[in-house]
Structure 1
């Protein structure tokens, strides 16, 4: 199975989105808030599913920079200072494919926890 590889990555700061196209023809527009709350960092994901942290209060977060990490990923620095997640091409592709489901689950979880976006 071939891993997804991006053909174009555009940071649109004003719109606070990452616009990414892949060699398989898929194209995703991933909001900074979505990327921040789904960060693959240990700070958010923990070291097991039980340790996963629900992150609220990020509706206005933006992306300040993207940094290549080898030939397989990027490090995203957010304007709230978070920069520890390494977003692999596979993970970004999965976030795009699962965006509707993941976002709905996130909204439900923050509402249940009494948090705001």
Structure 2
């Protein structure tokens, strides 16, 4: 796998609520844990086709508890809800950062349309 983007730094916030990624073009993105969790590239979230993609509710307070390299092309994030099957390639992380505003609003719109919330249902 080749990537057009290459990270020069990944930094997990002390509160584990965001991941800062800096790329070789100088671009830096601060990606919230909740955003990374609900946009996970895993089959559990994305399904095996666009029709199978899931809207993941209740992740407002999720934390990243592990950041594991996958070869030289990606990183695997482990969340405190035990989700750990998403492999975040460098290009995907860059797209998540570059498209964060639109993707986040689309997620919020999906939650509202489905009567779901960002908060965990108790």
Deviation sequence 1:72-111 (CA, Å, 0-9, x none): 0000000000000000000000000000000000001101
SS at match of 1:95: helix
CA contact (8 A) 1:13 1:62 kept: no
CA contact (8 A) 1:13 1:64 kept: no
TM-score by structure 1 length?
A: 0.97
Residues paired across the two proteins, number: 117
Q: CA deviation at 1:2?
A: 6.2
**Corresponding residue for 2:97?**
96
1:8-19 superposed matches below 5 A: 8-14=9-15, 16-19=17-20
Q: What is the root-mean-square deviation of aligned Cα atoms in Å?
A: 1.3
Name whichever of 70-79 and 10-19 sits farther off: 10-19
Unaligned runs of 5+ in 1: none
Q: CA deviation at 1:25?
A: 1.2
**Corresponding residue for 1:26?**
27
Unaligned runs of 5+ in 2: none
TM-score by structure 2 length?
A: 0.93
Using the alignment, how far apart are the partners of 1:103 and 1:8 within structure 2? Answer: 23
**Corresponding residue for 2:107?**
106
Query: Does residue 64 of structure 2 align to residue 81 of structure 1?
Result: no
Deviation sequence 1:6-52 (CA, Å, 0-9, x none): 01100014150000100011110000000000000000000000000
- The runs of at least 4 consecutive aligned structure 1 residues that moved more than 3 Å come to none
SS at match of 2:40: coil
CA contact (8 A) 1:3 1:90 kept: yes
